[in-house]
Structure 1
Amino acid sequence: MKEILRTAINEAFLEASAARKNNDVQAAYLWLERAHIIAQRMPLAHARSHWLMLKLGLQTRDWREVVGQVPRIFAALLFSRIWVPVGNTGRARVSAFSVMPLSADLQELLRDD
């Protein structure tokens, strides 16, 4: 994994954790979505983003998010190297197959991935 991607993923996970501890659920999900997009082609980091979304869903009693993350964790481990819907945020309220637009900074970050 490129060092710049590793740094970006770690930053997103750290920021999500800080937001979660501060009960800023919206910010936590935004950071986890960013981590998810960056990590989509890396099975363990990809699965970790879904695991943390599941934990946040448990914290907020968002059962739709919890139930939706379970199959995504397994899919991330099994299919990340085969195919991923680029830009997909990974949330349970979004189809797991939807390709979504990337922000300019994520386009640049993932350009050579």
Structure 2
Amino acid sequence: MPSYGRAIGPFVDAELREAWRAVRRNEFAAGFRHLERAHVMGQASTYQHVRVHVHMLAWGLSTRSARQTAGQLLRIAGAATKTPFGLVPTGNTGGADISPFKPLPIPADLAKIIREARQATR
């Protein structure tokens, strides 16, 4: 059976692709929303969690957002060191505009994908 990171990977990949498509169309806010969706799905996997924060860092650099750039540098370190121990706030969207410790509700469509990815690992 695959790990959660592998099971959720295609869904995270799809959101990352959509994020960068939006950025190429100069739709930066829409692009970041896709990154947030990728974060919600990937945060239970250390690999996916760190990977999404690296993309958020790249978004911050590409949009010249000092706040996102600095915030993502901190969050990359946190994701790499806290996720293996399950120390992640469920549903948190990962942006520098929200506390990295605040749990948030998970949108229904993402909750379904997460549930199915977890079931695939049993």
Same fold (TM over 0.5): yes
Figure out how many residues of one structure are paired with residues of the other and give that number: 113
CA distance in 2, matches of 1:92, 1:24: 19
Point out which structure has higher relative CO (alpha carbons under 8 A, 6+ apart): 2
CA distance in 1, matches of 2:58, 2:67: 12
Between structures 1 and 2, the one with greater helix share? 2
Q: Deviations over 1:49-107 (max 9, x none)?
A: 11111111111111011111101001111111211100000000100000001111111
Contact kept in structure 1, 2:46 and 2:84, CA below 8 Å = yes
Counterpart amino acid of residue 56 in structure 2: M
Give 5+ residue unaligned stretches, structure 2. none
Out of 91, 97, 101, the residue aligned to residue 93 of structure 1 is 97
Quote the residue 1:46 is aligned against: 49
The percent of aligned pairs where both chains have the same amino acid is 35
**What TM-score results when the alignment is normalised by the length of structure 2?**
0.85
Counterpart amino acid of residue 11 in structure 2: A
Give SS of 2:44's match.
coil
Give 5+ residue unaligned stretches, structure 1. none
* Alignment RMSD (CA, Å): 1.4
**What TM-score results when the alignment is normalised by the length of structure 1?**
0.91
Structure 1 stretches of at least 4 aligned residues deviating more than 2 Å after TM superposition: 1-4
Corresponding position: 1:30 with 2:33: yes
Shift of 1:111: 2.3
CA distance in 2, matches of 1:12, 1:76: 19
Quote the residue 1:15 is aligned against: 18
